[in-house]
Chain A
Amino acid sequence: MILSREEVLHVAHLARLALKPEEIDMFTRQLNDILKYVEKLQELDTSGVPPLAHVAPVINAFREDEVKESLPRDQALDNAPAQEEGSFLVPRII
């Protein structure tokens, strides 16, 4: 196995996913299948190939420092599960 059950749990936690016990086993199996499949790529000799950071052949896409109109606040907040006094409302973290 490339990915242990513990690693799957860790990754799930990082993504804030709560997995049911049967899902843990299922995802561990599925993720390992996927990794095994793409592992074939490791057979290629890439020692002379520079790491690719970006697939599109684009370099230096800039915008000038100009202010554009922002969203009206009610629109900015429209998708928020909770809002109050013009702010997004979230459970207290600290």
Chain B
Amino acid sequence: MAYEAVIGLEVHAQLLTRSKIFCGCTTQFGAPPNTQTCPVCLGMPGSLPVLNRKALEYAVKMALATNCRVAAESVFARKNYFYPDLPKGYQISQYELPLAEHGHLDIRVNGAVRRIGITRIHLEEDAGKLIHHEVRPVSFVDFNRAGVPLIEIVSEPDIRTPEEASQYLKAIRDILVYLEICDGNMEEGSLRGDANVSLRPLGTAGLGTRTELKNMNSFRFVKLALEYEIRRQRGLLAAGREIIQETRLWDASQNQTISMRGKEEAHDYRYFPDPDLAPVRIDEQWLEDLRKNLPELPAAKWQRFQDQYGLPEYDAEVLTADKALADYFEGTVKEFPHPKKVSNWIMGEFMRELKETPSLMSSVTFAASGKLLKLVEKGAISATASKGVFVEMVKTGQDPETIIQEKGLAQISDTGALEAAAREILAANPKEVADYKAGKTKVMGFFVGQLMRRTKGQANPQLANEVFKKLLNEI
């Protein structure tokens, strides 16, 4: 029987606030354990949580960017469960009245657009971190992360393939980063994606028993884990066996999902409204202010780069994958108004250097980059030599013209200077000259090559060609 997969994603994103969601402790990463806690995030009796306004606004921005309806009033709830990473015995989250619902996101998969529904977006606090002792049956608890603001973005089960899941997650990440509300780092856990996946006979509408996949901390792992899990479930169904509803962890070292050990407990969170926190009311005016200040989002920029600059889809995709890169492209085009040439250069030379020197975009202004491209266009420097100049610009932050002068890299576009050298080359290679005269025009490449070597690549190749043609005709 043919099956199709039904996949929904739950994405947790850490918000880039300076302080925690309900207290003033810093959210800075990497401090020694338990140095960033206070009575509120430790759940001490008598302490009162108060909502961080910025965390709320960040969450609303994400809701607007994913076409959600923001609730006029939303309420925080306590999600009760026992686990040592939770100091209070409950997590402050949202349940019945979440911040936003009914959104959607359009993603592109293999050239086609797929609309993925977004069920809800809500705010909650992160839990602490557990480190298990290697030998002794104990765990160390660090509450620095407890209370760091998170948004949870829950998709509808609209995703059908691992590829779509990965694209959806990427789209979510790109929007979060464009909004500057999350750093989007999956390896460090500031963006985490869990998946619910089940199979059903192709063409039917029901839902099969699902498993929940966790611990997929890269886009590649999301794809691999889902591929594995779909294969696993298909195998079970084909053998007439049942799927057990359970949580499974992706094990990257074994390339498989494994059942979480321990007894599977039916979740019974006993949510109830948190009496310590006031309901949140967002009026039209506030919403409008936030909407007005949304930046251009990745999908819109991608479309505009094609429309406005006539770039191919692929170029637009690469350039808009990173907001800073997109800005750099536009800045450079202002200096040197040849979009496709700028795009080629950025996707080639520029990105190669960017890998080596991630701070490149702040050290080399796009005015300097534009100037370099202009110099190549004018023929003042060869394309080959421009690569060295750019490397030097990155290294020293110097102006391209200064580097060209100091290194003597200016392209020789002076016919007289090239002619003298060309005559010598022709005189030294009578056999090739004879070949040329006999109709073997291919040797032209040899002559130009000789000239390039003699001028250390500074000869203007087009001009060199013309000079040789003229001299050979004179012979």
Contact = CB atoms under 8 A, between A and B. Distances in A.
A62 B38 contact: no
A34 interface: no
A58 B342 CA distance: 56
Interface string A62-94: 111111111101001100000011111111111
Contacts of B220: none
Contacts of B395: none
Interface string B14-31: 000111000111100000
Contact of B51 (A53, A62, A85, A92): A62
A62 B273 contact: no
Nearest to A59: B281
A26 B37 CA distance: 40
Given A92-B139, A93-B84, A93-B139, A65 B52 contact: yes
Given A63-B53, A65-B55, A92-B137, A87 B278 contact: no
B25 A70 contact: yes
A58 B75 CA distance: 12
A62 B53 contact: yes
B133 A65 contact: no
Residue from the set A53, A61, A93, A94 with the largest chain B CB neighbour count within 10 Å = A53
B52 A63 contact: yes
Interface of A is mostly: loop
A68 B47 CA distance: 15
B132 A65 contact: no
Given A73-B34, A86-B33, A90-B84, A62 B52 contact: yes
A88 B50 contact: no
B35 A63 contact: no
A68 B143 CA distance: 16
B141 A68 contact: no
Contacts of A66: 18-19, 24
A11 B140 CA distance: 28
Nearest to A82: B138
Interface string A42-67: 00000000000111101111111111
Given A60-B280, A68-B23, A70-B35, A92 B133 contact: yes
B54 interface: yes
B312 interface: no
Interface residues of B, number: 53
B348 interface: no
Nearest to B35: A73
Contacts of B83: 93
Contacts of A84: 138, 140
B24 A92 contact: no
Contacts of B261: 94
A28 B270 CA distance: 19
A54 B25 contact: no
Contact of B34 (A14, A59, A62, A86): A86
A51 B246 CA distance: 34
Nearest to A80: B141
B268 interface: yes
A30 to B, nearest CB: 19
A88 B131 CA distance: 10
A86 B262 contact: no
Contacts of A65: 17-19, 52-55
B452 interface: no
A52 to B, nearest CB: 8
Contacts of A64: 52-54
Contacts of A40: none
11 contacts: A10-B268, A14-B80, A14-B268, A53-B273, A60-B279, A60-B280, A63-B50, A65-B52, A84-B138, A86-B35, A89-B138
Ranked nearest first, the 4 interchain pairs of A and B with the lowest CB-CB distance are A68-B24, A87-B140, A65-B54, A88-B141
Interface of B: 17-19, 23-26, 32-39, 42, 50-56, 73, 75, 80, 82-84, 97, 130-133, 136-143, 261-262, 268, 270, 273, 275, 277-281
Given A67-B19, A86-B35, 7 more contacts: A16-B82, A55-B275, A62-B56, A63-B24, A89-B138, A89-B139, A91-B139
